[in-house]
Homo-oligomer: A and B are copies of this chain.
Amino acid sequence: MKYLIIGGVAGGATTAARLRRLDEDSQIILFERGAYISYANCGLPYYIGGTIAERDDLFVQTPESFYDRFHIEVRINSEVLSIDRKEKSIEVRDLTGGRTYSESYDKLVLSPGAEPVKPPIPGIESEGIFTLRSVPDTDRIHEYIAEKKPERAVIVGAGFIGLEMAENLHRRGIFVTIVEMANQVMNILDYEMAAEVHQHLKLKNVEFYLEDAVSAFKPDRNKKLSVHLRSGKVLPADMVILSIGVKPDTTLAQKAGLEIGESGGIKVDSHLLTSDRDIYALGDAIEFPNPISGHPMKIPLAGPANKQGRIVADNIVRGNSRTYKGTIGTGIAKVFDITVASTGLPEKLLKGIGIPHTSVITHSGSHAGYYPGAIPMTIKILFNPEDGRLLGGQVVGYEGVDKRIDLIASIIGMGGNVSDLAEIEHAYAPPFSSAKDPVNISGMVAENVIKGTSLQASWTEVFNPEKKKDILLLDVRTEEEHALGSVESALNIPVDDLRRRIGELPRDRKIVLFCSVGLRAYVAERILRQHGFSNVANLSGGYKTYSISTQ
């Protein structure tokens, strides 16, 4: 058999390696347009920032090592121009020699990845404006910084790569300004979770403009750039990173008449087969039904690309015996000292596609409070209010964020519900967790919501002057805490005085209780409910989430 693979990085190289392990006798040729294969895309920002000191560390395999180990023929600088599906062959241009030739296949694998989005903004081709996808992109940015010693950078787009670049440029001593069209960074988070990132960026002296966009880039005589925003603001910049997002590279697939899906990725079935029985596709270039929503989604991440590669190889050699379950979308980024992570679907997306959902927000220590070094983290989970099925999770904090998002992802992946989260039998010793892990707590709070034991109110409800009119806000923290700052117009009765002072509360108004994170207010809510107050709710995430979100 003869297998051709297009694209030599995450998806392509993984497929090739597994193919060889399963099929020693076949001919395997890997085509890569660029000069490098099998490199760590995800490490590129850290090489620019200097955390990864050696450029060589970015390469996992070279064409030579790949041949020695796997007898895989790697053709770099080789662009595949087209696919002849009838003849089962591809046309290749050797980018060094310029020669074009064709190569036949029994099975073809497409892992061409994605391209950074570059909107037609005036001046976008000016010197000093970069996108970051490949090793040459990285070399360009690295050299530019070394040579030009830029003092100010503007980053356009505040997703994972944008924020990683913010940290890494800052690390190189560059003052960073972020411009983002949405009203928040990290669109895969809900607003109140992103608000914690906003706060941290301010602390780190990173400037950002939200709900704004670049209208033009204007280089001046000294090769300095002015970045003009729609709002009228003009930002000076010595360099610009465009990190607005990526779009799947479907050029080849489209030309070959392969089916493209509704979200713009190559359409594949559960065996990762395209609409042609001899062509598989994977990685950033495809779309696949999201297991939670059922809607096709593009999730350009390395983990899924690697896992898909193994499935494609198995299906080629073992006759479509393995199905892909889909990607729920688990992502994480270190943003200076904090870690920001998300899995499944955020509230705004669930709302958009009409999936019944509700949420709880909790704050917990990264480990037992009595053991030194415990730092707060915030967890938001989304779940079906009827059966508790877990739909999404978001975690922001300093330590142990990766563990908690992985646990939430593993329960979502198993089709579990909030009780499964509450019941995870985690490993507990004081340096690592608490007797109830933060994800257990999050599941427990959600269970209480489902059972009607507790009702949650959102900070948006309390912040909205219209809605707020009808609500009595009850701060159950101590008088000292209340005096240090509270929600405007809130009444203060400390939880431990509540039973005694219950007569002070009106029985004809909705009462929203809050404390700092939600625990004492929950205890207070239970007291009120059992004293006949039925229209009460606990402010989700407490004063902490409220104050961060409304700053």
Contacts and interface: CB of A to CB of B under 8 A. Distances in A.
Given A306-B436, A411-B410, A435-B303, A429 B371 contact: no
A68 interface: yes
Interface in A391-444: 400, 402-403, 405-407, 409-411, 413-414, 416, 420, 422-433, 435-437, 440, 444
Interface in A476-526: 495-496, 499, 522-523, 526
A334 B414 contact: no
Given A371-B51, A414-B411, A425 B304 contact: yes
A455 B495 CA distance: 61
Contacts of A234: none
A302 B440 CA distance: 14
Contacts of A220: none
Given A371-B51, A435-B305, A453-B22, A413 B420 contact: yes
Interface string A150-173: 000000000010001000000000
Contact of A302 (B372, B424, B428, B526): B428
A24 B440 CA distance: 24
Contacts of A307: 422-423, 425, 436, 440
Interface in A338-376: 339, 341, 343, 368-372
Interface stretch (A28-36, A104-112, A322-330, A458-466): A322-330
Contacts of A40: 368, 370, 430
A431 B339 CA distance: 10
A181 interface: no
A531 interface: yes
A495 B69 contact: yes
A57 B407 CA distance: 29
B526 A24 contact: yes
Contacts of A333: 429
The residue in A303, A310, A409 that gathers the most chain B C-beta atoms within 10 A of its C-beta is A303
Contacts of A303: 425-426, 428, 435-437
A328 B427 CA distance: 11
Contacts of A117: none
Nearest to A425: B330
Contacts of A133: none
A444 B310 contact: yes
B499 A71 contact: yes
A368 B57 CA distance: 11
Contacts of A25: 530
A21 B368 CA distance: 23
Contact of A403 (B58, B406, B425): B406
Nearest to A444: B310
B51 A372 contact: yes
Contacts of A403: 400, 402-403, 406
Given A21-B523, A409-B424, A413-B423, A42 B302 contact: no
Q: Interface residues of A toward B: which range?
A: 35 or more
A43 interface: yes
A54 to B, nearest CB: 9
A445 B424 CA distance: 25
A449 interface: no
A389 to B, nearest CB: 13
A331 interface: yes
A258 interface: no
A131 to B, nearest CB: 19
Contacts of A58: 370
A25 B423 CA distance: 28
A368 B409 contact: no
A332 interface: yes
Contact of A332 (B60, B339, B429): B429
Given A310-B444, A440-B307, A302 B425 contact: no
B423 A406 contact: no
A427 B407 contact: no
Contacts of A428: 42, 301-303, 330, 332
A435 B306 contact: yes
Nearest to A499: B71
A95 to B, nearest CB: 27
A10 interface: yes
Closest 4 CB pairs of A and B: A332-B427, A24-B530, A403-B403, A402-B432
11 contacts: A22-B526, A23-B530, A24-B527, A42-B429, A43-B368, A43-B430, A302-B428, A310-B444, A331-B427, A413-B425, A414-B420
Given A69-B523, A307-B436, A332-B428, 11 more contacts: A40-B370, A42-B429, A43-B370, A160-B429, A302-B428, A303-B435, A303-B436, A307-B422, A307-B423, A410-B410, A413-B425
